[in-house]
C-alpha cells in the first residue's frame, strides 16, 4: 500500500526538524512546507530590518536551516508566501487591537487563519493525507490535550483553532520532552540541534518593540498618573506600548520598580499605574469573554483557565450566554487584560477559549480598563 503523505510545516527550528524525523520513523511519506508570513524588508527603510552577521535576515536563515534539515533527511521542501494573508488576518487585527488600548496575541490568530487554514489548503494541493507541525500539544479521539512537557505546552496558542481544522492534524512531538527533542536532533547532527528557540512575536523578532511599532502607529506621549492619588508621575511614550501588569520601563523615577500599569484612558491619553504588585487595582474577580471557540463536547460550569501563557491554572466558574461567557474566578486574579486569550481546561483537555472583552470586580466593569 502507498504510504500516507504528511505535509509538515518546517520553521527552521529544532521542534519541526525532529517532528519530521518522528514522522519518517512512523512510516509516513513526509513533505516539508516553509511558510513566509512577513516581508522582513517591508519596514526596512523605516526601522532597519534585522540581519545576521552575514547580512542575511533571520527569516532567510530559518529557510536555509529548514532546507538543510530536509536535504539531510531526504525530504522535499516547498516554500509558500502567505504575506498578504498574514497582513490581512493577523497584523491588521494586531494593530486594530492596540488602537483600542487592548493587548492582542497575534500568534493565536496566526494559528487560526494561517497555520491551520491557509497552510492546510496549500498542503492539500500537495496531496496531503495529513498535516503536521512542531507544536507541543496532543490530539486524542478528537480532543486537544496538553503536551507531556507542561513547560513547553502550546495549547494556549491553539485555542482559536476549530474542531474541523484539527481534522487530519498530527503533533509528532506532543508526547516528548524538550530535552528528548534536543537529544534526537543532536543524534542526527542537525543544523538546528542547538538553535535557540524563537521567542516573542514573529514579525518583530529581535527588534525593539517600540521602535518597530512606531512605523505603523505614531507615538502619542501623555501623562502617567497614580490611580490612587491622581498624581502625575511622568510621561508615557504611547499607550500601545504598555500592557496591564507591566512593571519595567515606566519612566516614573525612583519608584519605577514598584509601580505597575493598571489601566488606560484612551480619550485623555492617560496611563494609570499603582503602587505594589498586590494592589487592589490590579485584582479582579470576573471577566467577560467573547469570540468563543469551544472544543468541548458539552458546555460545563466549572473548570480551570489561563489568562496568560505561562500562568498557572485558575479555578473558575462559567456562566454561558448567547455569544459570551462570564468567567468568575474562585479567587481574585492579578492583571487580567482585555484583548488577551482566556483558555479553558478540564484536566489535560483544552476546551478552547475566547478573547477577554472586559474585566470586572463585584459585577462592575473596571472603569480604568
**Catalytic residue list:** 110, 202
Q: What are the two backbone dihedrals, phi and then psi, of residue 235, each rounded to the nearest 5 degrees? A: -120, 135
Q: What is the dihedral of CA 236, 238, 241, 242, to 10 degrees?
A: 50
DSSP conformational letter for 115: I
In whole angstroms, give the CA distance from residue 221 to residue 223: 7
Count of residues for the chain? 369
Which residue, chain included where needed, has cell 474585566? 359
In whole angstroms, give the CA distance from residue 259 to residue 264: 15
Which residue, chain included where needed, has cell 487560526? 112
DSSP string, 17-62: HHHHHHHHHTT-EEEEEEEE---TTTTHHHH-----TTS--HHHHH
Q: Which set of grid coordinates corresponds to residue 118?
A: 491557509
Amino acid at each position: 500500500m502507498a504510504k500516507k503523505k504528511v505535509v509538515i510545516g518546517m520553521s527552521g527550528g529544532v521542534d519541526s526538524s525532529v517532528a519530521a524525523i518522528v514522522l519518517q520513523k512512523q512510516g509516513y511519506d513526509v513533505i516539508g512546507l516553509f511558510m513566509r508570513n512577513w516581508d522582513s524588508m517591508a519596514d526596512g527603510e523605516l526601522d532597519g530590518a534585522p540581519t545576521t552577521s552575514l547580512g542575511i535576515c533571520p527569516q532567510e536563515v530559518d529557510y536555509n536551516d529548514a532546507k538543510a534539515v530536509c536535504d539531510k533527511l531526504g525530504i522535499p521542501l516547498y516554500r509558500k508566501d502567505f504575506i498578504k494573508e498574514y497582513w490581512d488576518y493577523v497584523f491588521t487585527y494586531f494593530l486594530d487591537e492596540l488602537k483600542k488600548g487592548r493587548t492582542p496575541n497575534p500568534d493565536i490568530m496566526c494559528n487560526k487563519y494561517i497555520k491551520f487554514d491557509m497552510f492546510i489548503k496549500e498542503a492539500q494541493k500537495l496531496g496531503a493525507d495529513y498535516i503536521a507541525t512542531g507544536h507541543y500539544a496532543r490530539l486524542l479521539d478528537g480532543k486537544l490535550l496538553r503536551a507531556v512537557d507542561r513547560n513547553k505546552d502550546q495549547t494556549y496558542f491553539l485555542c482559536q483553532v476549530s474542531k474541523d481544522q484539527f481534522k487530519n492534524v498530527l503533533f509528532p512531538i506532543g508526547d516528548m520532552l524538550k530535552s528528548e527533542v534536543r537529544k534526537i536532533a543532536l543524534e542526527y547532527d542537525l543544523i538546528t540541534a542547538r538553535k535557540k528557540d524563537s521567542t516573542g512575536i514573529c514579525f518583530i523578532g529581535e527588534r525593539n518593540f517600540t521602535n518597530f511599532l512606531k512605523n505603523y502607529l505614531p507615538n502619542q506621549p501623555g501623562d502617567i498618573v497614580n490611580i490612587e492619588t491622581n498624581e502625575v508621575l511622568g510621561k508615557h511614550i504611547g499607550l500601545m506600548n504598555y500592557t496591564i501588569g507591566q512593571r519595567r520601563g515606566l519612566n516614573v523615577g525612583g519608584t519605577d520598580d514598584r509601580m505597575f500599569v493598571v489601566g488606560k484612558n484612551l480619550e485623555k491619553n492617560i496611563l494609570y499605574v499603582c503602587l505594589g504588585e498586590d494592589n487592589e487595582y490590579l485584582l479582579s474577580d470576573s471577566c467577560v469573554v467573547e469570540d468563543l471557540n469551544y472544543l468541548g463536547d458539552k458546555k460545563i460550569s466549572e473548570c480551570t483557565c489561563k489568562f496568560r501563557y505561562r500562568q498557572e491554572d485558575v479555578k473558575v466558574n462559567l456562566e454561558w450566554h448567547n455569544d459570551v461567557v462570564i468567567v468568575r474566578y474562585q479567587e481574585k486574579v492579578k492583571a487580567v487584560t482585555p484583548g488577551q486569550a482566556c483558555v479553558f481546561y478540564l484536566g489535560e483537555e483544552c476546551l478552547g477559549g475566547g478573547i477577554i472583552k472586559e474585566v470586572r470586580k463585584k459585577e462592575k466593569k473596571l472603569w480604568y480598563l
